[in-house]
Copies of this chain bind each other. A is one copy, B any other.
Amino acid sequence: MTKLTSLKSEKRLLDRRAADQIRSHILEGVLPAGERLLETQLSEELEVSRGTVRSALAQLANEGLVQQVAFTRWEVSGTSTVDAWEIYTLRGALEGLGARLAAANVSETDGMRLRAIADDLLHAIREGRFQDATGIDFDLHAAIIELARHERLAEQHRFIVQQVRFHMVQSGFLPNDYEELIAEHKALIEAVIAGDADRAEKLARNHNDAEVKLLAKLLKQGGSAKPIREKAS
């Protein structure tokens, strides 16, 4: 008899699965910013009741992907330049902490794992598979965070990375210097492996600085805080 696996993962609550579906539609850009979401329509498409859809939307609102105008409407959130600046600065702080803790915990096998992922990333870029590269990039950062053995940090990180993806989809934001990206990753994981907490933290934080500075500059000159859609106050 083959080993049995828990059914619990299958038996995810209906509202969670509804949220999963809507979330992936949003993150794939099928539902653009500002798109109105009707509870009845979603409930018909997903073949669940409105209450269940409602619960799903509430979750997505917590994740910042959707916003609610009470008694009136749900809509897909828009990410402005200000939002992007917030997302990247927060990411820097979280990954800084993560890298610091990871450097304190790292083992031999962990180090090999990190190098392997970095290698994957290198190949993806060299072969021009930039879509894959983006995913592997996120994986690498997630792997470092995992080493921190910090559940809350990991959760916040998943959350903020999701917002990064969200922003990238909406704005078409992409890295513009892949060689530098590779070099930065290399330096970061070597610092982690070497157990140099201070350096690892610093590198992790600097890793977002290019984007942050660009965004800060845009904010100063442009001033158009919410180009995509006005946020309800």
Contact = CB atoms under 8 A, between A and B. Distances in A.
Given A58-B58, A62-B62, A101-B89, A70 B13 contact: yes
Copies of this chain in the oligomer: 2
Contacts of A83: 152
Contacts of A93: 93-94, 96-97
A89 B150 contact: yes
Most chain B CB neighbours (cut-off 10 Å) among A55, A86, A92, A93: A93
A177 interface: no
A90 B152 contact: yes
Which of A86, A151, A152 has the most chain B CB atoms closer than 10 A to its own CB?
A152
A156 interface: yes
Nearest to A6: B233
Contacts of A150: 86, 89-90
Contacts of A64: 152
A59 B83 CA distance: 23
Most buried by B among A51, A62, A89: A89
A37 interface: no
A55 B8 CA distance: 22
A33 B159 CA distance: 26
A87 interface: yes
Interface of A: 8, 11, 13, 51, 55, 58-59, 62, 64, 70, 83, 86-87, 89-90, 92-94, 96-97, 101, 150-153, 156
Given A11-B70, A51-B51, 11 more contacts: A55-B58, A58-B59, A62-B62, A83-B152, A86-B151, A89-B97, A90-B150, A90-B153, A90-B156, A93-B94, A156-B156
16 contacts: A11-B70, A13-B70, A62-B62, A86-B150, A87-B152, A89-B101, A89-B153, A90-B97, A90-B150, A90-B152, A90-B156, A92-B97, A93-B94, A93-B96, A93-B97, A156-B156
